[in-house]
Amino acid sequence: MPYITTADGAEIFYKDWGSGQPVVFSHGWPLNSDAWDVELKLAADNGFRAIAHDRRGHGRSSQTWTGNDMDTYAADLNALVDALGLTDIILVGHSTGGGEVVLAAQYGAGRVAKIATAGAVPPVMVKKESNPDGLPISVFDGLRANTLADRSQFFQDLSEQFFGINKGSGISQGQRDQFWRLGMQMSLPAAYDCIKAFSETDFTEDLLALDVPILIAQGDADQIVPIADAAYKSIELVKNGILKVYPGAPHGIAGAYQQALDKDLLEFWKS
| Cα separation, 145 vs 1, whole angstroms | 34
* pLDDT 10s digits, 230-245: 999 999 999 999 999 9
For the chain, the distance separating the N- and C-terminal CA atoms, rounded to the nearest angstrom, is: 33
pLDDT mean for each 10 residues of the chain (271 residues)? 94 98 98 98 98 98 98 97 97 98 88 98 96 96 98 98 95 97 98 98 97 98 98 98 98 98 98 96
Burial class (CB in 10 A: 0-12, 13-18, 19+), 185: middle
**For residue 194, what pLDDT is reported?**
98
**For residue 109, what pLDDT is reported?**
78
Q: What is the pTM of this model?
A: 0.97
Give bridge partners of residue 52 from the DSSP assignment.
15, 25
**For residue 43, what pLDDT is reported?**
99
Element (H, E) at 48: strand 48-53
Quick check: is 95 catalytic?
yes
Q: Which member of 54, 76, 206, 222 is catalytic?
A: 222
**For residue 71, what pLDDT is reported?**
97
**For residue 108, what pLDDT is reported?**
75
Task: Name the phi and psi angles at 53, rounded to 5.
Answer: -120, 160
Peptide bond into 30 cis (omega under 30): yes
**For residue 106, what pLDDT is reported?**
84
Quick check: is 26 catalytic?
no
Q: Does domain 3-270 have CATH number 3.40.50.1820?
A: yes
**For residue 260, what pLDDT is reported?**
98
**For residue 107, what pLDDT is reported?**
80
**For residue 33, what pLDDT is reported?**
98
Q: Which member of 95, 169, 199, 234 is catalytic?
A: 95
Q: Which ranges of the chain does DSSP label H, i.e. alpha helix?
A: 37-45, 70-84, 96-107, 137-162, 173-184, 188-200, 204-209, 231-237, 255-270
Quick check: is 251 catalytic?
yes
